[in-house]
Amino acid sequence: MAEGQTLANWDSGGLIAGFDAGQTHTSCRLAEASSGRVLAEGEGPGVCHLAAPEGPERFQAALNQSLAAARRQLGGEERLDRPEAARPSAQGLASSPLLAAAVGASGIEQGSDVQELGLTLAAATLGLPRSHLAVTGDERTALRGAFPQGPGIVVISGTGTIAVGRNGQGNDHRCAGWGWRLDGAGSAFDIGRDGLSLSLQMADGRLADTPLRAALWQALALDPADPQAAQRIKAMVVEPDFGAAGFAKLAPVVAALAGAGAPEAQAILRRNAEALATSVAGVARALGLNAPPVAPMGGALTHLQGLRRTFQVALSLELPGARLQEPVGDACSGALAMARELVGS
């Protein structure tokens, strides 16, 4: 749950839901429709592009499971500090009607056939009319949450990456985010993939061996001394369940090595930080923003040791007037704001 948000006291009435569906996991936040007060939050599995063979199934599973987890929390231990007489039954909380929902999901482009498919799937999954649903890219809900009013740019670095902004006239523009196979620079995927690529060059003699190879191979549960380990990696990365998330899980190892002074790991972090700064500058130019507030978001910029600091340095060179600013809210906050508009509250 976003900083400063707590579970609100329950009042009777319907619910609204805001979903943040990324490639690694999905969050569902429930709020009271009449007031917008946050009541509960649950998590579910991540999504992939809806055009992928498993895309629709994973999208529906992410919505179903995260919503179910949030509904369970409504009557869970988090609320048991309330007096018994004032506490509604768990069954009553869990069965309160869902009036509207907004979904921000990875890979959904504005005005696309994929967005239309997402709307159809969400309506079927959540049992809502299309008029009470919004389905868009997670970068759009993140922008709405970070800057509820006024201009600004959001740069997201998680499993994937994208930058999107809005100017004072209400125009928006995005850079990057064209899918991990084409455009992952600045993401945890690219950081992990770049590190693993270097490790294979160390294994076959193109580069001198360093602790990076052993650390990454151990993170994959492989023995660095095994002469067949490189071949195992080649087979591992094409397995259906590896994908972008499999590479992204290696990013913390690369970041930790960079923090410990490993030059090859530092170069990877620097290259990806510069890519993030270039995306932000592209958005700023398109929108005519000379000194925009920039909100860094996503798991990589939040948790990877040194990435945010390196990004800040790169941004100061690429766009000197920009200033980093903590987002007002997160992507779930933005989705809830969109959902509340749908019920006219």
SS3 content of the chain, % helix, strand, coil (to 5): 45, 15, 35
- 210 shares a domain with 86: no
Residues 323-343: tens digit of each pLDDT:
999 999 999 999 999 999 998
Residue 114 lies in a domain: yes
Report the distance separating Cα 293 and Cα 155, nearest Å: 11
| Cα–Cα nearest to 122, from 201, 188, 78, 63 | 63
- 120 shares a domain with 157: no
pTM of the model: 0.82
- 101 shares a domain with 55: yes
- The b/e string for 102-131 (b: 16+ C-beta within 10 A; e otherwise) is bbbbbbbeeeeebbebbbebbbebbebeee
- 183 shares a domain with 160: yes
- 190 shares a domain with 75: no
* DSSP class of 254: H
Q: How many residues does the chain have?
A: 345
**Which CATH number goes with the domain that contains 22?**
3.30.420.40
Residues 182-205: tens digit of each pLDDT:
999 999 999 999 999 999 999 999
Q: How many domains, the chain?
A: 2
Domain that holds residue 235: 151-327
Q: Give me the residues paired with residue 163 across strands.
A: 155, 175
- 295 shares a domain with 200: yes
Average pLDDT, the chain: 90
Residues 8-30: tens digit of each pLDDT:
434 447 999 999 998 889 999 99
Residue 10 lies in a domain: no
- 191 shares a domain with 100: no
Report the distance separating Cα 104 and Cα 240, nearest Å: 24
Residues 223-238: tens digit of each pLDDT:
999 999 999 999 999 9
